[in-house]
């Protein structure tokens, strides 16, 4: 299997990774405008250089808490299914290369609610990276709800 470029970021004290080819940019936190009747994990929308993007709290999506918004908080602008969204992350750390063969499935015992959103885990130096499957984080209903926000 080929080498994969992964952007490494922190979320709730854990180290996560996402495919670089799906990450458009990392941005400082912007003003978020709440949207009535949005799903709880959609914190609202923001204007990024003329584009209106929904802002998603991954911790709420994973049902493991709520992101603390602090000075260091960043937004990972990602693309999935032709939809761009801003994911709230603690900080972006690095871009690394991971050998595709070193990616292992998520252990069943580590399952939990958000296991279905994970591609697997990989060792990189001293870190254990939890790799997100961005295409599954937003299911078709979520994408449709987001498209409705864009109207």
- CATH number for position 57: 2.40.50.180
Instruction: Check: CB of residue 117 under 8 Å from CB of residue 102.
Output: no
Q: Per-residue pLDDT for 113 more than 80?
A: no
Please tell me the distance from the alpha carbon of residue 55 to that of residue 86, in angstroms, as a whole number. Answer: 5
23's enclosing H/E stretch is strand 23-28
Instruction: Check: CB of residue 110 under 8 Å from CB of residue 118.
Output: no
- Within 10 angstroms of residue 14's Cβ, the number of other Cβ atoms is 13
Q: Per-residue pLDDT for 147 more than 80?
A: no
Residue 134 neighbours by CB under 8 Å, 6+ apart: 18, 19, 22, 78, 79, 80
Give the pLDDT of residue 151. Answer: 45
**Mean pLDDT, the chain, as a whole number?**
83
Residue 52, classed as helix, strand or coil, is strand
Q: Per-residue pLDDT for 114 more than 70?
A: no
Q: Per-residue pLDDT for 112 more than 70?
A: no
**Could you tell me the pTM of the whole model?**
0.85
Based on the number of CB atoms within 10 Å of its own CB, is 37 exposed (0-12), middle (13-18) or buried (19 or more)?
A: exposed
Give the pLDDT of residue 27. Answer: 94
Range of 143's domain? 3-149
Give the pLDDT of residue 77. Answer: 94
Q: Per-residue pLDDT for 74 more than 60?
A: yes
Binned at pLDDT 50, 70 and 90, residue 110 comes out as low
Q: Residue 135: phi, psi to the nearest 5? A: -70, -25
Task: Name the domain count of the chain.
Answer: 1
């Amino acid at each position: 299997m080929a080498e994969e470029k992964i952007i490494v970021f922190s979320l709730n004290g854990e180290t996560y990774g996402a495919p670089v080819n799906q990450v458009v940019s990392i941005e400082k936190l912007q003003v978020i405008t709440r949207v009535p009747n949005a799903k709880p994990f959609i914190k609202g929308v923001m204007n990024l250089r003329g584009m209106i993007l929904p802002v998603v709290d991954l911790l709420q999506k994973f049902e493991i808490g709520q992101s603390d918004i602090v000075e260091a908080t960043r937004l990972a602008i990602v693309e999935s299914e032709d939809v761009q969204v801003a994911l709230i992350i603690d900080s972006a750390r690095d871009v690394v290369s991971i050998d595709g063969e070193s990616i292992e499935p998520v252990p069943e015992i580590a399952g939990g609610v958000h296991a279905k959103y994970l591609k697997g885990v990989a060792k990189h130096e001293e870190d254990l990276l939890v790799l997100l499957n961005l295409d599954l984080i937003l299911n078709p209903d979520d994408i449709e709800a987001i498209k409705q926000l864009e109207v």
